[in-house]
Chains A and B, each alone.
Chain A
Amino acid sequence: MRNKYSIFSLFKNALSYHENWQRAWKDPAPKKEYDAVIVGGGGHGLATAYYLAKKHNMQNIAVVEKGWIGGGNTGRNTTIIRSNYLWDASAGLYDHALKIWEGLSQELNYNVMFSQRGVMNLAHNLQDVRDLKRRTHANRLNGIDAVYLNTEEVKKFCPIINTSQDIRYPVLGGTLQRRAGTARHDAVAWGYARGADEMGVDIIQNCEVKSIKRSGDTVEGIETTKGFIKTKKIGVVAAGHSSVVANMAGLKLPLESKPLQALVSEPVKPIIDTVVMSNAVHAYVSQSDKGELVIGAGTDDYISYSQKGSHQIIEGTLNAILELYPIFSRMRMLRQWGGIVDICPDASPILSKTSIKGLYFNCGWGTGGFKATPGSGDLFAHTIANDEPHKLNAAFNLNRFVSGDLVDEHGAAAVAH
């Protein structure tokens, strides 16, 4: 049994200069066979393993990760959490996640630094105003907190925004979800990894999947850089590389992988205590606990796995940021990076069985998967354990691209992640 983290353990370990903390998770060699294998050790994959072990009593499972856990998009996103999506199916999915976030630090005994500082979405033209008002009403019908703010209320909630009506894209109003906010992205991966490991899940890093072995329409196992692993159930949570893994099984997915960029500034004193995003000018910003401004840019329009985006994408975002926040004009940017996001045609995810028995995919989260991490793991675990979806992810099946029953969330997800 692992020691709990508490004020007392902190004090005890301080006495030995913090040199005797336990490992948070083991570093096992893969066994020959598991009841299920999760491909991809990001937040979603680790959460899936955690809930498989915790709620579905499947402890003989493994997570295989080609790099190190949380080193992909989990460590590259801008940590925004919200659930103000338009359609009922999305509202159910994302609010399920938000409700788990609210108790996650206690549940995992790991501080994920979940901070409900609110997320404000700005409107810059008449159509934005109509769309955001409609979304506010839709959210409230689904029990999701949302309010519409006029320009003065926007200014009051976030005083540094330039609400002059003379700028190219003036602020005409906005929506606010107060329960929304941010969390510490690495901590989510680490917390789930520690929790899953404690229940007996093997977390195997530096282990890349090379091929998926199947006999007929049933999976038999995976060939990895650390040898063959036999299993009857494979849950693929490989984000930008989902299509690559799907190709190994002879499947095609409706995904395109594109670079998405973000950047952070030098740390400064607290200046913005919420998250503000704007679809029309493609800019969103929040401030980390270290004081850095965290700024999200856009995706390039071409397919790439290079984890490098184009300069003009960042330039466009910073132009918009400076028009909305002239106070940032002399800030210096510290770091800039890209991650590869798997985008679905309807900007909604896929949590689904496939035509191959025992092969499940959790992908297509595109530009905004971080917020859904706990809910995604919970529902995907349910799907794998029961071989059928939970009612909250039933709409997000792969077959919707055949039936035409798409969940079009471009309005709520296209830019604002």
Chain B
Amino acid sequence: MFLINCPYCGERDQQEFKAGGEAHIERPKQPTELSDDEWAEYLFMRKNIKGVQFERWNHAHGCRKWFNMARDTSNDEIKAIYKMGEKPPTQ
């Protein structure tokens, strides 16, 4: 349980948000040409990082907008919040 600074609404309780899992997984451009292995990679395989991970969140009980977050999963500390379409922070 932590506070999340929604880029549209400001700081709110995490309870208002829905976690959307790993970010920056690109949908295949040509799905019909994908092999089974590539589908499995896209659909199921996850980095599941212990440490700083980039992930999607949705302000489900607020503005209902999606955004990205860099969060340390070992202690739940939020490192950065950035909008959809923006590049993940480097450091």
Residues from chain B with a CB closer than 8 A to the CB of A303 are 19, 21-22, 48-49, 53, 55, 73
Residues from chain A with a CB closer than 8 A to the CB of B26 are none
Kindly provide the distance from the CB of B25 to the nearest chain A CB, expressed in whole angstroms. 12
Interface string of B17-56 (1 = CB under 8 A from A): 0110110000000000000110111011111111001010
Residues from chain B with a CB closer than 8 A to the CB of A301 are 18-19
Find the residue from B21, B41, B44, B47 having the highest chain A CB count within 10 A.
Answer: B44
Given contacts A241-B50, A303-B73, A306-B73, contact A401 B1 (CB under 8 A): no
Kindly provide the distance from the CB of A14 to the nearest chain B CB, expressed in whole angstroms. 46
Residues from chain A with a CB closer than 8 A to the CB of B44 are 254, 345, 401
Decide if A367 is an interface residue (CB 8 Å cutoff). Answer: no
Alpha-carbon separation in the docked complex, A308 to B76 (Å): 9
Residues from chain A with a CB closer than 8 A to the CB of B55 are 302-303
Decide if A244 is an interface residue (CB 8 Å cutoff). Answer: yes
Kindly provide the distance from the CB of A248 to the nearest chain B CB, expressed in whole angstroms. 11
Is A252 touching B76 in the complex (CB atoms < 8 A)? no
Is A257 touching B1 in the complex (CB atoms < 8 A)? no
Instruction: How many A-B residue pairs have C-beta atoms within 8 angstroms? Tell me.
Output: 74
Decide if A310 is an interface residue (CB 8 Å cutoff). Answer: yes
Decide if A110 is an interface residue (CB 8 Å cutoff). Answer: no
Decide if B5 is an interface residue (CB 8 Å cutoff). Answer: no
Decide if A279 is an interface residue (CB 8 Å cutoff). Answer: no
Decide if A256 is an interface residue (CB 8 Å cutoff). Answer: yes
Find the residue from A254, A310, A402, A403 having the highest chain B CB count within 10 A.
Answer: A402
Is A252 touching B47 in the complex (CB atoms < 8 A)? yes
Residues from chain B with a CB closer than 8 A to the CB of A302 are 19, 55, 71
- Choose one: A241, A257, A311, A401; the contact of B40 (CB below 8 Å): A401
Is B36 touching A402 in the complex (CB atoms < 8 A)? yes
Is B47 touching A243 in the complex (CB atoms < 8 A)? yes
The residues in A between 295 and 343 inclusive whose CB is less than 8 angstroms from any CB of B are 300-306, 308-312, 342
Q: Chain B's interface: helix, strand, loop or mixed, by majority? A: mixed
Decide if A276 is an interface residue (CB 8 Å cutoff). Answer: no
Interface string of A191-205 (1 = CB under 8 A from B): 000000000000000
The residues in B between 6 and 22 inclusive whose CB is less than 8 angstroms from any CB of A are 14-15, 18-19, 21-22
Residues from chain A with a CB closer than 8 A to the CB of B74 are 305-306
Decide if B75 is an interface residue (CB 8 Å cutoff). Answer: yes
Is B76 touching A253 in the complex (CB atoms < 8 A)? no
Alpha-carbon separation in the docked complex, A243 to B50 (Å): 9
Residues from chain A with a CB closer than 8 A to the CB of B46 are 243, 252-256
Kindly provide the distance from the CB of A175 to the nearest chain B CB, expressed in whole angstroms. 31
Q: How many residues on the B side are at the interface (Cβ–Cβ under 8 A)? A: 27
Residues from chain B with a CB closer than 8 A to the CB of A247 are 47, 49
- Choose one: B37, B43, B75; the contact of A306 (CB below 8 Å): B75
Alpha-carbon separation in the docked complex, A256 to B14 (Å): 19
Residues from chain A with a CB closer than 8 A to the CB of B48 are 243-244, 253, 255-257, 303, 342
Chain A residue at minimum C-beta to C-beta distance from B76: A306
Is A311 touching B45 in the complex (CB atoms < 8 A)? no
Residues from chain B with a CB closer than 8 A to the CB of A300 are 19
Kindly provide the distance from the CB of B51 to the nearest chain A CB, expressed in whole angstroms. 9
Is B76 touching A304 in the complex (CB atoms < 8 A)? yes
Given contacts A310-B1, A403-B36, contact A254 B45 (CB under 8 A): yes
The residues in A between 377 and 417 inclusive whose CB is less than 8 angstroms from any CB of B are 401-404
Chain A residue at minimum C-beta to C-beta distance from B41: A252
Kindly provide the distance from the CB of B43 to the nearest chain A CB, expressed in whole angstroms. 8
Is A252 touching B45 in the complex (CB atoms < 8 A)? yes
Is A310 touching B14 in the complex (CB atoms < 8 A)? yes
Q: Please, could you name 28 A-B residue pairs with CB atoms under 8 Å apart, sorted by A?
A: A241-B50, A243-B46, A243-B47, A244-B50, A247-B49, A252-B46, A252-B47, A253-B48, A254-B46, A255-B48, A256-B46, A256-B48, A257-B73, A301-B19, A302-B19, A302-B71, A303-B21, A303-B48, A303-B55, A306-B73, A306-B75, A306-B76, A308-B1, A308-B76, A309-B1, A345-B44, A401-B43, A402-B37
List the 6 closest pairs (A to B, CB-CB), nearest first: A302-B19, A243-B48, A254-B44, A310-B1, A252-B45, A402-B40
Using a CB–CB distance below 8 Å, which chain B residues touch chain A?
Answer: 1, 14-15, 18-19, 21-22, 36-37, 39-41, 43-50, 53, 55, 71, 73-76
Given contacts A243-B47, A342-B48, 17 further A-B contacts (CB under 8 A): A243-B46, A243-B50, A244-B50, A253-B46, A254-B46, A255-B48, A257-B50, A301-B19, A302-B19, A302-B71, A303-B21, A304-B76, A305-B73, A305-B74, A306-B76, A310-B1, A401-B44
